[in-house]
Structure 1
Amino acid sequence: MKHYILLLCAALGILPLKAQQRAVLTGTITADTAWDYISLRVWDETLTPRTIADLPTRNFNADIHNGQFRFEVPDIKKPVYITLGKFNKVSREFLYMMEQTLLEPGDSLNLQLTGVTGRYRKIPEIAEPWLAGYGVAAIKITGRGAARMELTRALQAEENRFQDSMSKLGRRVELPQTVAYMDSSMPIFDYKLRTQLQILALFRSRLSKAMYQLQYADITAANYVSRYEHLHLSVLQVRRGLPEQYPAALAAAKRLYKPANLRDLPAVTLANSTHYIDLLAMEGRFLSLLNGDNIAPYKYIQQHNKGILRDKAITAYFLESGRNISDLKAQLDDALSFTKDPFCVNLLKETARISTAGMPAFNFSLPDTAGKIVTLADLKGKTVFVDFWYTGCGACSGFYKSSLSKVEAALLNNPDVVFVTISVDKNRNTWINSVRKDEYTSAGKANVINLYTAGQGPDHDLVKWYKVKGYPHQLLIGKDGRIIRASKLQLPEQQLLAVIKEALTTQR
């Protein structure tokens, strides 16, 4: 009897569906240095390409034996985004080997990664370059799902040619010719879209219907995002540099604006398309500009969308642009009043908690170099500049040497400001030795307090509270213990000094 039930289930498609709730990823790797493990990140829920790095992931590690690795990813109910690389052992920052790519339920992929080598970012202030990720000289992909990855690479090649064309066109344009440039650039966008859709058509028979629709949405939406960004930036440049031509530039942008026609695709496809969600968020910003900035961009998104599309686009807008909004708290409160999707609601609440000026700062309690516990409450009455760092972080050293150390010196005799550096080094001796070297922080300045996360590294509640994903990371906290600013503080010396002085003035 059981045998007949299984046959019936197979005939009805039940068993294949269940079997496809997982995917397998195997591969080989040849690198310039020995790799003992490799990491895989899986995004079950996404928003836009610009926000994906800040979203929750499932993380898997696989040991490498004789250059070979294997991942088995369970519980995949729809196409998900993945990427390969390594986690920094100290800071837990993820060092990418490849861009985010799609994985479908039932995939069984084999990747041959050849010529893996470190990609380094040069920082003038330090002698050693900073490891920023990994590059791959060649990738060979086989197995179920390989066609989709081949498509991604073909589309990227066309994107690279497009960027080269736009770069050459842009180099010849002076500000007075911006309006003509806006007109002349549109055919290039049209050509790229036609070409990429032709490439997609060549792969249609090798893709599932759902994946074909998703790729169609991604390709089209990404093209329109680029169009809107291009027109948006052009208008802003004219407004700043040649205000007398602003009306003409604005009129040209209105004339060249046209919506992407994707509403006929299934709603679930559009909701899973990171580029389509990006398009809705970008369109809100662009329409706000075209209509004189009289309506907040998120209001356009709210009024022209519904359900999960509205919720995702609203959330993406605040994650990408929220920290530049002067009345962020009021807008977030309004958005939370109508957002329904639990994933989006949680992200909006987190954005409010860690980014909104006026929100209470986390009352940390951490040891200094003498072992004394220092809390944020101890510093009440002072403006507090916080800098997160770790030993070996080239960007941390570069920011300290080129900017932070000079700002500390400029405000050395101001009793109303204190600089707190917080290291996520797990080893206390490593941290102490780095402090003494004056490479990441100042050891002898009276207005500097050096703390570390007491051996917990990036797993400390303070680091988790602020969702620190990259280093260095800064906060500016007011005399009342509330956040003044939680982003865009990694500034050159004079700009950072001006921000802190303004905060001191407004708090008197």
Structure 2
Amino acid sequence: MKKVFIIQITILVIGFCYACKTNEVPKKQSYVTISGTIKGNGGVRDSIRILFGGLIPETKLFGTKDTTIYTGSNGTFLFKSKDIKEPTRITIGSYKKRAGEKSQRWGDALRNFLVEPGDNIHIEIDESKEEHVYEFSGTGSEKFKVQWQNFQSGYKVNRREIQRRYGYKFAALSNKVQIADSLSNIQIRALETVKDSLSDRVFKIMKADIYGENGVYLKTFVSNMHVDTCSTKQIQQYRKLFDESLNTNLPSDILASSPYYIMFLSNMAIAQLQLGDPENPDYRYEHIHAKGFSDLCQIWRNQYSGMLREKLLLYNLQSLNVQDTYGIEECLQMSYDLIKTPELKAIIDTMYGRKIRGATAFNFNLPNTEGNMVRLSDFKGKVVYLDIWFTGCSGCLYLAKEVDHQVYPLFKDNPDVVFVSISGDKSKDQWLKSVESERYGLKEYVNLYTGGLGFKHDFTLYYGIKGGPTTMIIDREGRIYSSAPPKHGKSKELVALINEALER
């Protein structure tokens, strides 16, 4: 009897343990899956380009992963992300080569959409019409549906056209603010229809996106104005609009999670400087990134804190707009001392160590037009002006024209100055044609290219260069003299900086 009793107890325990195991709550998926089908594209084999994650979206320097996935014969694609712990960003765009075109280009894109761990979203893309049609299903698809709907509503309002058409008189600016607020209210009402399917944090981040995106297009008005011509009363009116535009009632950690709000606050800092000192020419939009960048950094330092401040500083430090040699040095030093979040600290440590004046410059080894390899160290003892560009870059064209005609002639006969032109073209033939055309620089420069690697060469990756025009000045000892020399419309300042480097 005792033996039978022990056997019964054992069976009960085993059964209980089995029941526990079979009733375990499955571990929540910690990655994101995006699947889909492209149809109506005339049988052209598409590829899907996906930019995923990153502390600041679409910026490889800050951890964004760039993936290209070729569709199957039936137009299907599948993407599985790395494991994530927090909501993050994804940009999804069709990427294909059209008839008569030499290279692939983006189609319509779902840009900076929000995803979170466990999302398993399916996308049907119909390219048969002029405007692509998207249908979303699966876990997490409600986020995509409302983000796409809000994008469409903003597109139909045509915020860019309103920005251009209304001008900059106060009545027009007031109208634009009203349009922005009305559009935001419409989009937030749409967001609230899916609130129950979203976490509180995701809901608030998407709300910050709405305020930020409409703010970028319709509220960063003063940054493009000449407030030095305004009356005292007008300045007061603008300040009132400015203050009202920044009222979201959202916590700073939420705002820090919205790239659109980061962009909005970046532009509004320019407006704040202009309103505070309307007669200072350095604060005008066309001069601020060349002469007033350190003052912008002071605003971000003094008025914000935590992750929001850290992202504002990093977002603007990596901007191609910055061409203030001394301002970027001051801001780099400030950011190096202020940024404490481990992931962001690692980024600023890298930027500081590679871009601050006096840092040893990357000793590239690149082919010239004759196929010979050229190193930066070949020019030791000389001041080197570096210009990084790519074919099709309009800003690169404008800058080359200025440098070719207004800067280079002053140093042409100086053996201690070298002008080095580096192309990020992937096609050698395209690069050689562009060199021959002299549209992106003169043939008498030292013309190099990144060996077909584009902007994925070790040299461009080292500095986080993702486009052009990117310029630098290297001193006689092969060290960084300026990682952000003056560019468009600042030829005199660039000449002065090169002369300054020669005198050191």
Same fold (TM over 0.5): yes
The answer as to whether partners of 1:386 and 1:421 remain within 8 angstroms in 2 is yes
- In 1, Cα distance between equivalents of 2:418 and 2:272: 43
- Indicate the percent of aligned positions where both proteins have the same amino acid: 21
1:71 is paired with a residue of what secondary structure? Answer: strand
Alignment correspondent of 1:151: 146
The answer as to whether partners of 1:25 and 1:71 remain within 8 angstroms in 2 is yes
- In 2, Cα distance between equivalents of 1:496 and 1:283: 24
One-letter amino acid of the counterpart of residue 348, structure 2 = L
* 1:400-429 deviation line (CA, Å, top 9, x unaligned): 98566656874544444322233456787x
Correspondence list, 1:58-457, <5 A: 58-66=65-73, 67-85=75-93, 95=106, 97-98=108-109, 99-115=111-127, 137-164=132-159, 167=161, 171=165, 173=167, 178-224=169-215, 229-234=220-225, 237-239=226-228, 242=229, 245=230, 247-256=232-241, 257-258=243-244, 260-263=246-249, 269-282=254-267, 284-292=269-277, 296-320=295-319, 323-324=323-324, 326-353=326-353, 355-356=355-356, 359-370=359-370, 372-389=372-389, 393=392, 398=397, 410=409, 412-424=412-424, 430=429, 434=433, 437-438=436-437, 445=444, 448-453=445-450
Question: Structure 2: which 5+ runs fail to align?
Answer: 1-13, 98-102, 278-282, 284-291
1:503 aligns with 2:497: yes
1:5 aligns with 2:20: yes
- In 1, Cα distance between equivalents of 2:48 and 2:142: 23
Return the offset for 1:212. Answer: 2.1
Superposition CA RMSD, Å: 4.2
Higher RCO structure, 1 or 2 (CA under 8 Å, sep 6+): 1
Alignment correspondent of 2:288: none
- In 2, Cα distance between equivalents of 1:330 and 1:93: 40
- In 2, Cα distance between equivalents of 1:146 and 1:371: 51
* 1:132-187 deviation line (CA, Å, top 9, x unaligned): xxx963223233333222212222233235445x84586465x7xx3444444433
Return the offset for 1:326. Answer: 3.5
Q: 1:376 to 1:139 in 2, by over 3 A?
A: same
The answer as to whether partners of 2:383 and 2:473 remain within 8 angstroms in 1 is yes
- In 1, Cα distance between equivalents of 2:222 and 2:400: 38
- In 1, Cα distance between equivalents of 2:472 and 2:236: 40
2:36 is paired with a residue of what secondary structure? Answer: strand
2:300 is paired with a residue of what secondary structure? Answer: helix
One-letter amino acid of the counterpart of residue 20, structure 2 = I
- Structure 2 length as normaliser, TM-score? 0.75
The answer as to whether partners of 1:397 and 1:439 remain within 8 angstroms in 2 is no
- In 2, Cα distance between equivalents of 1:355 and 1:96: 35
2:207 is paired with a residue of what secondary structure? Answer: helix
Q: 1:247 to 1:351 in 2, by over 3 A?
A: farther
- In 2, Cα distance between equivalents of 1:455 and 1:59: 18
Alignment correspondent of 1:128: none
Return the offset for 1:71. Answer: 1.5
Q: Larger C-alpha radius of gyration, 1 or 2?
A: 2
Alignment correspondent of 1:477: 474
* 1:66-115 deviation line (CA, Å, top 9, x unaligned): 221112224132222112347899xx998464022222322222222232
Q: 1:439 to 1:327 in 2, by over 3 A?
A: closer
- In 2, Cα distance between equivalents of 1:311 and 1:114: 40
Return the offset for 1:341. Answer: 0.7
* 1:243-267 deviation line (CA, Å, top 9, x unaligned): xx353333222222236455565x6
One-letter amino acid of the counterpart of residue 56, structure 2 = T
The answer as to whether partners of 1:84 and 1:96 remain within 8 angstroms in 2 is no
Return the offset for 1:42. Answer: 0.6
- In 1, Cα distance between equivalents of 2:236 and 2:453: 56
One-letter amino acid of the counterpart of residue 145, structure 2 = E
Question: Structure 1: which 5+ runs fail to align?
Answer: 118-134
